[in-house]
Structure 1
């Protein structure tokens, strides 16, 4: 997996803080839990020890994934965004051709996607369908419910 992960500066900082928390707080807590369980006797029949070891393994996997994501992360600056077409970090206002509903989305990385705040992932079906479109173009999005047509009304940074 050598895909670059595009993130805003704020998201990159959040990722770094989360990694530091995992390494500085969660990892020592997991080690303490293992040590406490080890003191309770025979390791062959110690469910608490097994659970602590499993939790530690999951934590280490999460840390490894976070380190990998940070290594692949590239910061995108909103001031450098080309608003002539839909791209990552642009805000796009679209009309659903069938329902005539108008919605504004910001196209973001998977890490930043949050539908409630109007941020959709660049890898989502709608995000992929809108990428590269210009104002006035119709995007055909393949959704589980079928093909949905969106008309691009506006693009901004």
Structure 2
């Protein structure tokens, strides 16, 4: 049997996944079942796009529920006091200076399940995340991106 991949989460990330799972099970399942019932009441389901859409949505919801349950079953929650402020790891907030453009950016390193680049929550598996892991304040890291190499200096590591 293949071992399932550990899902590394912050406490906040765990809560979000649990809420999504609860919502899918309690609300979305009922909604889609109602849609299917309604579509069937229209008669011939062989040419019924309502029915097809509802069945597709149902398949998506059930797939997502399975995925979330697997993630939660294999979740390892990083506690705030486990986050090292000496070395970059999952849960670290890292203040970086882009050496080329002199911009200062801040990223929180999270597991891939809760990465959200628009909130500056980047995955430990992303190019920037990988480059930063294990590094210390004052280190300069090279990040390979499609456009070339970005050099960041780590200004600070916080919880």
Return the TM-score normalized by structure 2: 0.87
Give ranges in structure 1 of 5+ residues lacking alignment: none
Give the counterpart of 1:42 among 38, 41, 44.
44
Provide the rounded CA distance (Å) in 2 between the counterparts of 1:105 and 1:35.
Answer: 46
Task: Give the 3-state SS of the residue equivalent to 1:57 in structure 2.
Answer: helix
Structure 2 residue aligned with 1:86: 88
Q: Which residue of 1 aligns with 2:152?
A: 150
1: distance between equivalents of 2:44 and 2:106?
A: 60
Partner of 1:121: 123
Q: 3-state DSSP class of the match of 1:111?
A: helix
Write the mapping of 1:1-150 to structure 2, written as runs, cut at 5 A: 2-150=4-152
| Cα distance change on mapping 1:37 and 1:118 into 2, 3 Å | closer
State how far apart, in whole Å, the 2-side matches of 1:84 and 1:124 are: 21
Aligned CA RMSD, in angstroms, stands at: 1.8
Runs of 4+ in 1 over 6 A off after TM superposition: none
Shift of 1:141: 0.4
Task: Count the aligned residue pairs.
Answer: 157
Q: CA deviation at 1:105?
A: 1.9
Q: Normalization by structure 1: what TM-score?
A: 0.88
